[in-house]
A and B are shown apart, each in its own frame.
Chain A
Amino acid sequence: AQSVTQLDSQVPVFEEAPVELRCNYSSSVSVYLFWYVQYPNQGLQLLLKYLSGSTLVKGINGFEAEFNKSQTSFHLRKPSVHISDTAEYFCAVGRVRNFNKFYFGSGTKLNVKP
């Protein structure tokens, strides 16, 4: 089975500061990795994904994430956050070539302050 741990339930940060949201996963098989964002009262929007290839992936809204296989991590970063980045961020894993369930982390609420 797979599992996902998001170490921080809440991250407060000032506008224009850098941010890192941490995600660690556990899996005995190869996985794809994803970050989704959920704005208040909205659905899940894909930020970025790692399927294969370069371990540094870039997504929408200036976010990027780095896949580290040895540390089983997929941390999300942004060099300079905006007020509009205030949302909840979910890390998810899915088994490679198996179109079944995603396992989600418990989410990290990013609160960007002016």
Chain B
Amino acid sequence: EPEVTQTPSHQVTQMGQEVILRCVPISNHLYFYWYRQILGQKVEFLVSFYNNEISEKSEIFDDQFSVERPDGSNFTLKIRSTKLEDSAMYFCASSGGSTGSGEQYFGPGTRLTVT
């Protein structure tokens, strides 16, 4: 069964550094998402992406964040200058093949630790 993959599984970085989290969505999906889950809290929407542009973003997704689909298969989330409060699990998701039903398929997540 096709699945969403994410790399790395765990990223440790120092405050102020840039990080790029990578995702490979399911190949025929058209809609892509990033969510985050701070330890012990609920999963929160960050951004959705369709047709090579952001379709919606949350108030969390400020100028420090950006997304890109550089090569038609990968979907990346960049944090320009990480803060301690960016420490969280980041989930990538995809949905909406040619007969999309709205169901989102989630990757296993990248745990980001900012020190």
Indicate if A102 sits at the interface (CB-CB under 8 A).
yes
Scan A11-49; emit 1 where CB is below 8 A from any B CB, else 0: 000000000000000000000101010000011111001
**Shortest Cβ distance from residue B76 to the other chain A in the assembled complex, whole angstroms:** 18
Contacts of B91 in A (CB 8 A): 43-44
**Shortest Cβ distance from residue A67 to the other chain B in the assembled complex, whole angstroms:** 15
Given A99-B50, A100-B55, A107-B42: A46 touches B105 (CB 8 Å cut-off):
yes
A11 to B58, CA, bound (A): 31
Given A43-B109, A44-B106: A100 touches B42 (CB 8 Å cut-off):
no
Indicate if B102 sits at the interface (CB-CB under 8 A).
yes
What residue of chain B has the Cβ atom nearest to residue A97's Cβ? B102
Stretch at the interface among B13-21, B65-73, B77-85, B93-101: B93-101
Contacts of B55 in A (CB 8 A): 99-100
Q: Flag if B102 contacts A32 (CB, 8 Å).
A: yes
What bracket does the count of chain A residues touching chain B fall in?
20 to 34
Indicate if A96 sits at the interface (CB-CB under 8 A).
yes
Indicate if A74 sits at the interface (CB-CB under 8 A).
no
A49 to B41, CA, bound (A): 22
Given A43-B91, A49-B103: A102 touches B31 (CB 8 Å cut-off):
no
**Shortest Cβ distance from residue B50 to the other chain A in the assembled complex, whole angstroms:** 7
Indicate if A101 sits at the interface (CB-CB under 8 A).
yes
Partner of B42, one of A46, A49, A99, A106: A106
Q: Flag if A44 contacts B31 (CB, 8 Å).
A: no
Contacts of A97 in B (CB 8 A): 102
Contacts of A90 in B (CB 8 A): 42-43
What residue of chain A has the Cβ atom nearest to residue B101's Cβ? A51
Scan A82-106; emit 1 where CB is below 8 A from any B CB, else 0: 0000000010101111111111111
Which one of A98, A102, A105, A107 has the greatest number of beta carbons of chain B within 10 Å? A102
Residues of A near any B CB (own CB < 8 A): 32, 34, 36, 42-46, 49, 51, 90, 92, 94-107
